[in-house]
A and B are shown apart, each in its own frame.
Chain A
Amino acid sequence: MVALYELEFGVSDFVAVANQTLEYAYPSVVIIGELANFKVSKNKWVYFDLKDEFASLRFFGTVYQLNTPLEDGMLLRVKGSPRLHPQFGFSITVSQIELVGEGTAKKAATLLEKKLAAEGLFDPARKRLLPYPPARIGLIASGESAAYVDFSKIINQRWAGLEIQHVDVLVQGADAPEQIVNALNTFNQQQDLLDVLIITRGGGSAEDLQAFNAENVVRAVAGSRIPTLVAIGHERDFTLAELVADVRASTPSHAAEILTPDKKAVLGEIKRQKASMAHALDSVIFNKLDNLNRSKIMLENSTKTVVGSSYEQLLSRKSILQAYDPDFALRRGYALARINDKLIRNSADVAAGDIVNLEIVDAILRARVEDIQKKGKKYYG
């Protein structure tokens, strides 16, 4: 049997063997340490060390794995694969980076905030109004969380007929940012875009909430075509996702309150509107009746006036006519004098000795003219 220490290797061979062993023993490893010598090269390659009191390890990755700005001194949790590079020695190839501790989490958020503010992502002018009430909403939350339960409960109490599409995501941990971004993209690429997207979780430390300060998440929220409502259950130190959303709510329950009206209140309003309509209709009808009444009275009055004056006219005309009626004159004692069937109008029409006819009311008298006595110069006729 050959003792291991007697084996000879070529340099490359040993490198290969060592890598095989590493791959076998630690295909993937998670290491926590303090960031040092952080460097980005050609805007693509990332080099840094993680160190503790006694040692330091080299790491190598790409900018695409960076979710936040990094600074020396930050405490990181890095997942990667160790390897022995043929030329550059031992290093760990990064697959995932996570922030550790409140200090680190807050520091990263502050750095990112500065960077994004400069781009104008927090500009109030960017904020859109949410459709109110919405008909179809997307919910990005952890299905097992209290946030999901609270939101669902309140929204069911307050409103009806909503279509809710839910994507169950991790809201904490190294995989959370990717899932949240994925959910946002999924909704934004649907054929029939929803009205609002709600992203919600309960409160936590800055470290717990770091996914909502991750650059890819914040950019995805900012870039969402669908208006966004972000509700993280805490009051202080807003996460960047909240600052960049169209609307922010302080808790999942509050989000439900902002999103829709309270159907109880709306039903009350409808009742009031029904009463308004009935009252308005009554007014219209009453006014119409009142108008009709007025018109009726006016009509009656003017008719009386018209008729009254006509009647008076008639009477006066009648009496005028009557004056010209011969019978009327005869009844009063006048006689119509005729000679040879012609009316005697004056003394020239007749001579003494003529026979004349005198028509009185009920007979005709034959008379002989005895004498003519002329009256003064007054003539009637």
Chain B
Amino acid sequence: MVKFNYVEADQRLGEIVAKLQSTDISVDEALDLYKEGMELAEKIEDYLKTAEQSIKQIKLNLEKTSNKSDSDN
């Protein structure tokens, strides 16, 4: 499952907003960017509103020789 990369999405959205506001951009380009930007914005909003936080317990390995970590479910 590919996890949603918030940082990348947020960065891309910022780029799109800046580009849309630049002076030399054709109507076609603007329409494409607008579409991409709105979809991205929706995705980010969705993520922030619904993504679950997960807490995993990691067992301390008290053996000084081995350092493997186990997850405790």
**Residues on A facing B (Cβ under 8 Å):** 131, 133, 135, 138, 152, 155-156, 159-169, 179, 182-183, 185-187, 189-190, 263, 266-267, 270, 273-274, 276-278, 280-281, 284-285, 288
**Residues on B facing A (Cβ under 8 Å):** 3-7, 10, 13-14, 16-17, 20-21, 25, 27, 30-31, 33-34, 37-38, 41, 44-45, 47-62, 67, 69, 71
Q: What are 8 sample pairs from A and B whose C-beta atoms fall under 8 A apart?
A: A133-B6, A163-B53, A164-B55, A182-B62, A267-B48, A276-B20, A280-B30, A288-B27
Which residue on chain A has the smallest CB distance to residue B4?
A: A161
> CB-CB < 8 A to B55: which residues of A?
152, 164-166
Question: Whole-angstrom distance from the CB of B14 to the nearest CB of chain A?
Answer: 8
* Interface majority SS (helix, strand, loop, mixed), chain A: helix
User: Which 3 pairs across A and B sit closest by C-beta, in order of nearness?
Assistant: A161-B51, A280-B20, A160-B51
> CB-CB < 8 A to A267: which residues of B?
45, 48-49
Q: Are A166 and B62 in contact (CB under 8 A)?
A: no
Which residue on chain B has the smallest CB distance to residue A280?
A: B20
Q: Are A163 and B54 in contact (CB under 8 A)?
A: yes
Q: Are B60 and A182 in contact (CB under 8 A)?
A: yes
Q: Are A277 and B34 in contact (CB under 8 A)?
A: yes
Question: Whole-angstrom distance from the CB of B55 to the nearest CB of chain A?
Answer: 5
Question: Whole-angstrom distance from the CB of B9 to the nearest CB of chain A?
Answer: 10
> CB-CB < 8 A to B51: which residues of A?
160-161
The complex places the Cα of A169 from the Cα of B57 at a distance, in Å, of: 11
Which residue on chain B has the smallest CB distance to residue A288?
A: B27
> CB-CB < 8 A to A185: which residues of B?
67
Q: Are B67 and A281 in contact (CB under 8 A)?
A: no
Question: Whole-angstrom distance from the CB of A298 to the nearest CB of chain B?
Answer: 20
Which residue on chain A has the smallest CB distance to residue B53?
A: A162
Indicate which residue in A161, A168, A169, A189 contacts B52 across the interface (CB closer than 8 Å). A161
Q: Are A160 and B48 in contact (CB under 8 A)?
A: yes
> CB-CB < 8 A to B45: which residues of A?
267, 270
Question: Whole-angstrom distance from the CB of A168 to the nearest CB of chain B?
Answer: 7
Do A160 and B20 form a contact, CB below 8 Å, given A133-B7, A182-B60, A273-B13?
no
Question: Whole-angstrom distance from the CB of A98 to the nearest CB of chain B?
Answer: 19
Which of A161, A187, A276 is packed against the most chain B CB atoms within 10 Å? A161
The complex places the Cα of A162 from the Cα of B51 at a distance, in Å, of: 8
> CB-CB < 8 A to A161: which residues of B?
3-4, 6, 47-48, 51-53
Question: Whole-angstrom distance from the CB of A284 to the nearest CB of chain B?
Answer: 4
The complex places the Cα of A277 from the Cα of B40 at a distance, in Å, of: 12
Question: Whole-angstrom distance from the CB of A176 to the nearest CB of chain B?
Answer: 12
The complex places the Cα of A179 from the Cα of B61 at a distance, in Å, of: 9
Q: Are B53 and A186 in contact (CB under 8 A)?
A: no
> CB-CB < 8 A to B25: which residues of A?
284
Indicate which residue in A131, A168, A270, A280 contacts B60 across the interface (CB closer than 8 Å). A168
Indicate which residue in B31, B50, B58, B60 contacts A160 across the interface (CB closer than 8 Å). B50
Which of A169, A186, A273, A276 is packed against the most chain B CB atoms within 10 Å? A273
